[in-house]
Amino acid sequence: MLSTRHRFLSAALYTLCLLYAGPVQAAEPAPPFDVAAESVLLMNERSGRIICAKNPDLSIPPASLTKIMTLVVANDAIDNGYASLDDEVVISEKAWRTGGSKMFVAVNSRVPLRKLLEGIAIVSGNDACVAVAEHIAGVEDVFVEKMNRKAAEIGMNNTMFKNSHGLPDEQYTTVRDMAILADYYISHHPECLQIHSTKELTYNAITQRNRNGLLWLDSGFDGLKTGWFSTAGYHIVATAQQEQDRFIAVVMGAGTVRQREAVARQLITYGFRNFTTLEVLSAATPLAQASVWKGAQDHVALGPAAPVILTVERSSLDSIVVQNDFAESVQAPVAMGQEFGQARILLHDGLLASVPLVALHAVDRASLARCVLHTATLLFIRPPYWGALVLALLLIAACVARLASRTGASSRTRKKHGDNFL
């Protein structure tokens, strides 16, 4: 990566740069191959970049993908101390009677909350969803309110949940919203991937396989959830990790189980082979320094206010350029974290991202003696030596004036006594 230093931009350009505090995303490109599904999206989980998408905002019933939000709300409650994995959950008749895919819990039995979460993640148990919702919120309807509040909180702007398990088809979402949800779930509850990657679950002497067939592939797949409904088709939220990169593929509206898995695998393979994610700038790493006028220190180090993590095409790595646009001279006092410019990341002259350049340490105002010394240093020692130049000009002017005065006096003396020499 190259690094260049420029003068501070004009106020108008600086204001424009402030609008780009993070990665700049254009409209998502379509997948470079045909996909056998109504709607798909591929996202890099580490950077949040959407690599490609097809109909990303098409409204589709989520079916059992709803259960990802059920797991999010339940795990958030556990993290906040409102529930424990060791809680004994009493199975209500409503939970027991819930149709569709089941974990096969018995009415009035007591099941550890930990086991119910496994039943949701591994075998998509609708009965387990209702039991968890009733345990966390008292009644399922209140739990669903929590689901919708969480959706709004994390930016799922085109989603509505009606129950904790996803049936029937009165609910709706988009692949974009499901990617946002999966990203939140993985980043806030990464330990849950161990459950989602489990290939089977035995409960009540009944063994069921995980419905995510991608787990049997040796390609780093470790989640996340499948779904199906007759009017919506076959869905999957798939995720895989290789080294430091993790991709999330959302496929909705496929025609068959094989199609949803094939499309998800194709998307994630495309991501790993053609893109990589790197930390272009690390937080608090010095990138430049500005001189400090009237400061206890002569300079202040400037660095990015936050790390800049970008997913880029592997073929473009050598074309990334970092530009630092900042005020080269500032006045004390300087507060740690105070903004003095922007670091801009460019690719082929296009802006990828920008982040504020901030002071990495505080600089107090200098004492009066130091201010005088600093001013003298600036005037007489450091280029362009204005003080020395002014002093030299004054001395030259004084010498010229004195010489002119002497010459004038001599001339007047000769004129006055000229007759004595005749």
Q: Which residues are catalytic?
A: 64, 67, 124
Q: What is the DSSP letter of 335?
A: -
Question: If we measure between CA atoms, which residue out of 27, 57, 53 comes closest to residue 41?
Answer: 53
Q: Are 286 and 60 in contact (CB under 8 A)?
A: no
Q: Which amino acid makes up residue 106? A: A
Q: How many helices (H) and strands (E) does the chain have?
A: 11, 18
What is the strand order of the sheet 50-54 is part of? Answer: 50-54, 37-44, 245-254, 233-242, 221-229
Q: How far apart are CA 317 and CA 96, in angstroms?
A: 55
Cα(354)–Cα(23) distance, rounded to whole angstroms?
7
Distance CA 222, CA 70 (A): 19
Q: CB neighbours of 164 closer than 8 A, spacing ≥ 6?
A: 66, 67, 70, 129, 130, 132, 133, 140, 143, 144, 147
Q: Give 230's contacts (C-beta < 8 A, 6+ positions apart).
A: none
The 3 state secondary structure assigned to 150-196 is: HHHHCCCCCCECCCCCCCCCCCEECHHHHHHHHHHHHHHCHHHHHHH
